[in-house]
Structure 1
């Protein structure tokens, strides 16, 4: 029997962390819930959950110095998975109620209110995953569970070097197309909640764990 991959779920005051811990344990990970630097930096995989407001999540991350630790992991090629607002804060900025808040800035883009008749976008939706995806291997036709009012609706990632591999972007739609997931080297993130997405979400987490070995 293969060894369980060691994953830290970042504990910085965000809700729903226990469901993420349980989902990861269910698919075979050895999980630590922590914001201690040694746990964040030394884990084979780091999961950054996030619910609520963009600005509140950024405040929580800064309070435990997690922005610096996330940057160190990504720079060192150490896998990170963001979930929901944990995806949104990886972008340059979020705009909520007219207030702009700086994000971590790993990817260019702005998180904005979805132009839909009904928000939040709550419930199951399909995605359009790119060819060659690791996260959605075998589950590209499945539905996933979303709960959000804001999203990244425009993607512009300049490839500055010929050898540079562009990120793989998965899209969904609610009022307009929005980024449902990104796979960019060690940094991946989903706008939906894999821990609430049944068998498809469990398989996505297994796929991510498979990239840690």
Structure 2
């Protein structure tokens, strides 16, 4: 059984994510304790709300550095929704904000006449093979967001969706992963993605 630390910085869908992990038969630990995060087999960075508020909370609690140091151990990290966006270099949401810069890219608002927020079920299009996508077939997952990620490195894209334009849906590099949608609310496909992530936590050597 793996222990998955869910980072509690005051802005996240903590309980729905923890229930998703627990349904897979693993321990979900909602925590802001650096020692518990460091000791975990895997870490999930959730997020709901505005980028600037979230990154400020992470910095004020010192959890931004805790997450960076965790990544250096080589164990898997997964950002979900806003948590994925926080992994990137910067965001233009309500001003200019610097992110964790674990992956190069920029978070921008949907442009044009698209309905915002992008809310509902959209089909994933897989971009490349990765351990996170083991056994995954293209299907629908649940999105709720007004901003999306523009990648600096196309090789970081694992899956996209279409919302009047290509939208980054899953990213991954080495042991750092992100999902723009909510896997814990995305039916069997989302749970399979969570299961694959937890499997990588049990054996971090298989990270992409």
What TM-score does the superposition give when structure 1 sets the normalisation length? 0.89
Task: Give the drift of 1:157.
Answer: 2.3
Give the Cα separation in 1 of the matches to 2:85 and 2:18: 20
Q: What are the equivalent positions in structure 2 for 1:140-155 lying under 5 Å apart?
A: 140-152=137-149, 154-155=150-151
Partner of 1:163: none
Give the Cα separation in 2 of the matches to 1:202 and 1:63: 32
Give the Cα separation in 1 of the matches to 2:151 and 2:12: 28
Partner of 1:5: 2
Give the Cα separation in 2 of the matches to 1:183 and 1:155: 11
- 2:27 pairs with one of 6, 23, 30: 30
Matched, 1:112 2:108: yes
- 1:205 pairs with one of 174, 177, 194: 194
Task: Give the drift of 1:14.
Answer: 1.2
Matched, 1:193 2:189: no
Partner of 1:102: 98
Partner of 1:73: 70
Q: SS of the residue aligned with 2:160?
A: strand
- 1:17 pairs with one of 14, 17, 26: 14
Gap regions ≥5 residues in structure 2: 203-208
Gap regions ≥5 residues in structure 1: 159-165
Give the Cα separation in 1 of the matches to 2:76 and 2:12: 22
Does the aligned pair in 1 maintain the 2:118–2:143 contact within 8 Å? yes
Partner of 2:48: 51
Task: Give the drift of 1:131.
Answer: 3.0
Q: SS of the residue aligned with 1:15?
A: coil
As a proportion of its length, which structure holds more helix?
Answer: 2
Give the Cα separation in 2 of the matches to 1:194 and 1:208: 11
Paired residues, number: 201
Give the Cα separation in 2 of the matches to 1:69 and 1:15: 17
Does the aligned pair in 2 maintain the 1:133–1:168 contact within 8 Å? no
Q: SS of the residue aligned with 2:132?
A: coil
Does the aligned pair in 1 maintain the 2:44–2:79 contact within 8 Å? yes
Q: SS of the residue aligned with 2:53?
A: helix
Task: Give the drift of 1:177.
Answer: 1.2
